[in-house]
Structure 1
Amino acid sequence: MAYRETPRTRAKAEQRRARVERATQYVIASGGFTAASIAAVAREAECSAGLIYTYFDNRDELLGIVFARAASHELAVVEAAVGASTSAAEVVGSVVDVFIRRAVAGRTLAHALLFEEVPDTVQIERRALRRGYVSVIAEGLNHGYSADIPAEVVARSLVGSIAENLVDVLDPEQAPPSTSEVESLITALSTFARTAIGEQ
C-alpha cells in the first residue's frame, strides 16, 4: 500500500521544518552565515543532519530561505515606519531611525544580512531586500515629496548611505558603538537626508 500523508503527519513535518529554520536564524544571529553549518543547525534544532536534508536540498537553499524570512520581517518594520509618516521629512527620518536602531540592537544578524559574503541563493534574496527597501521608501516619498530629484533616486541614495555608514558600526571586529555614538549617527544621517530632499 502506498504511503498517504495525513493532516497530522503533515503538521508534524511542518513543525520540524519550522524548527530547523528558527534554529538556522538563531545560529546566524549568533555567529553569522559562516557559523551556520548543517551540523551547527542540527545541534541547535536538536535533530539529525539527515532530517534537515529531508526538507532542504542543501545548505545554500536553507540559508536562502531563512534569509528571505528574516528580510521579509525587516522590510515590514521599515514599511510600517514609512506608513506612519506624514511628510517626506518624516519618511527619511523614520527610515534612518528604525534602520540604525534595529541594526545596532542585532549587530551580528544585521552584519550577516547586509555585508557578509554569502552563497548566490542568499545574494539573490539580498538584492530583493534592497529593492524592497527602495520601493517602500519611494512610495512613501511620492505621497508628500515635490523636489526635482526622483523619489526612487532619493530612496536608493538613502539605502546606500545608511548601509555605508553601518559598515564600521556593525564590524564584528569592532567594539559596539556607545549610545551617544548611535544617537549622533541617527541625527547626522537624518539631517543629511532631509537636507538632500530640501526638507528641514
Structure 2
Amino acid sequence: MAYRETEKMRLRKAAARQRIAECTYKCVAEGGFRNAKITHIAKAANVATGTIYRHFESKEDLFAEIFRAATQREIDKVTEALATPGSAIEQLGKALRQFAERALKGPVMAWSLIAEPVDPKVEEERLAYRKAYADLFEQAIREGIKEGCIPDQNARQSSTCLVGAIAESLVGPLSPTQTGQIAANETDNHDLLVDTIICFCIQGLTGTRS
C-alpha cells in the first residue's frame, strides 16, 4: 500500500519549513549571509541540520528564497510610494526616499541585498531585484514624460541609472566597516545622505534641482 501523507503531516512540514525560513531571515538580518550558518539556523529553528536539507536542496536554495522574500518586502514599499498622490516626480522622490531610508534603518539586511558577496544563485536573485526596481522606475518616468514634468528621454536607460545611482551611493554607508562610524551622529548623517541622493537623481532626470 502506497504511503499517503496526512494533512497533519503536511501542516507540520509546512510549519517547519516556515520556521527555518524565518530563522534564516533573522540570521541574515543580524549578520548577513556569510554569518548565517546552517548549524545556527537549525538550532534557532529547533530542527536537526539534516531537516533543513529535506526542505531546501542546498544552502544556496535556502538563501535564494530568503533573498526573494526580503527583496519583495522592499519592492512592495517602493510600489506603495509610487502609487501615492502627486506628480511622477513627487512619486519618484517618495520612492527613492523610501528605498534609502529603509536601507539605512536596516543596514545589515540592506548591505546583504545590495552589495554583500553572495553565491551565484543568490546573485541571480539580486539581478532580478534590480530589474524589478528598474521596471517600476521606468513606468514612473514614462508617466512623467506624458505629464510633461520629465523631459523626453530613454525611460529604460534612465531607470537603470536610478537603480545604479541609489544602490552605489548606499554601498559605502551600509558597508560593515562604515556603519559604526555613522552611528555617532546617525540621524543628521542619514537625512543629509538621503536628501543628496534624491536631489542627484531628480536633477539627473529633469535637469533641475528638486
TM-score by length of 1: 0.94
Q: CA deviation at 1:92?
A: 2.5
- Tell me, in whole angstroms, the C-alpha distance in 2 between the residues paired with 1:188 and 1:151: 22
Alpha-carbon deviation of 1:153? 1.7
Provide the rounded CA distance (Å) in 1 between the counterparts of 2:143 and 2:39: 49
The runs of at least 4 aligned residues of structure 1 exceeding 3 Å deviation read none
Q: Which residue of 2 aligns with 1:144?
A: 144
Gaps in structure 2 of 5+ consecutive residues: none
Asked which structure has the greater RCO (Cα within 8 Å, sep 6+), the reply is 1
Say what the alpha-carbon RMSD is for the aligned residues. Answer: 1.4
Q: Is the CA contact 1:61–1:121 (under 8 Å) kept in the aligned structure 2?
A: yes
**Whole-Å separation in 2 of the counterparts to 1:191 and 1:92:** 11
3-state SS in 1 of match to 2:144? coil
CA distance in 1, matches of 2:87, 2:159: 14
* 1:42 maps to amino acid: A
Name whichever of 139-148 and 97-106 sits farther off: 139-148
The corresponding residue for 1:55 is: 55
Partner letter of residue 152 of structure 1?
R
Query: Would the aligned equivalents of 1:85 and 1:91 in 2 still touch at CA under 8 Å?
Result: yes
What is the aligned partner in structure 2 of residue 153 from structure 1?
157
Match of residue 25 from structure 2: 25
Partner of 1:102 in structure 2?
102
Unaligned runs of 5+ in 1: none
Distance 1:70 1:54 in 2: 22
- So what's the TM-score if we normalise by structure 2? 0.90
Quote the sequence identity (%). Answer: 31
Matched AA of 1:132: A
Offset, 1:158: 1.1
* CA distance in 2 between partners of 1:85 and 1:75 (Å): 18
